[in-house]
Amino acid sequence: MRLLLVEDDALLGDGLRAGLALDGYSVDWVRDGEAARLALFAEGYDACVLDLGLPRRDGLAVLKELRARDNHTPVLILTARDTLEDKVAGLDAGADDYLLKPVELAELRARLRALLRRAAGAASPLLQHRTLSLDPASKQVTLSGRVVPLSGREYALLHDLLSHKNRIRSRQELETGLYAWGEEVESNTVEVYIHRLRRKLGADMIRTVRGLGYVLGDAS
C-alpha cells in the first residue's frame, strides 16, 4: 500500500514516515502543499496523511482541489486546530478522517487501517479469499487456519492483491506499491515475489493475466 505523507515539521514527518514504514506501507514524504498536490495528481496513492498548516499551499486548499478534480484518494488530515469549525471545514472539504496533534502513532496506524478498509469497501477487518485470510492489524496471514510466515515485501504484495480482489493489477501498479520513491526497482522484482507467494500459498492462488498483470480472485 502506498501512502503520501504531507508534513512540514521535519521531526514529526521523519517519525511518522519511519513508524508507517514499519507497518509495511511504502511512504512518500513531501513537506509543502505544492509538492503535495503535484504528487497527488501524478501518482496513485492508496491514502494520504495531510497536515493542514503547510508552506506554499494550505492543506485544506490541496484537499479541496483534489476533490474538485474528482480524485477520491482517502485523506486523513492532521490538525493542531482543535476547534469545531476547523474539523467541520476539513470534513466538508472532503477529508475522510482527522487526527489532532500531537499525533499518537498507534492511533494514526489504527485509523489508517480503518480508512483503507472502508476504501476497499470491506465490512470485515480481515481480507479474505477462499481459505486465505489476511489480518491487517496483526499482519498475520493464514491459509486454511494455518499461519503462513511472509517477508515484509511478500506481505505487502499479497495485501495489495487482496485489497484489489478480482481486479487485475498491472506489474507497474504492484511495483509502485512495493517501493517508495528513490529506491531501486529491479525489473523482475514483482515476478520474484509472486513466485515466492505461489510457493507458500499454492500455485493457483494468484493468476497471471498475460500482457496485463496479476489477479487474485475471479476477474477474467
Tell me which residues touch Ca ion (CB under 5 A). Answer: 8, 51, 53
Q: For Ca ion, which is the closer residue by CB, 13 or 213?
A: 13
Residue closer to Ca ion by CB (options 7, 23) is: 7
- Least Cβ distance, residue 80 to Ca ion (angstroms): 7
Scored b (16 or more CB within 10 A) or e, 157-182 reads bbbbbbbbbeebbebebbbbbbbeee
Taking CB positions, which residue lies at the least distance from Ca ion?
53
Provide, rounded to whole angstroms, the least separation between the CB of residue 109 and Ca ion: 20
Q: Which is nearer to Ca ion, 58 or 65 (CB)?
A: 58
Nearest-approach distance from CB 107 to Ca ion, in angstroms: 18
Nearer to Ca ion, 31 or 159 (CB): 31
Three-state SS at 94? coil
CB of 105 to Ca ion, least distance (A): 17
- What DSSP assignment string belongs to 98-163? EEESSPPHHHHHHHHHHHHHHHTT-SSSSEEETTEEEETTTTEEEETTEE----HHHHHHHHHHHH
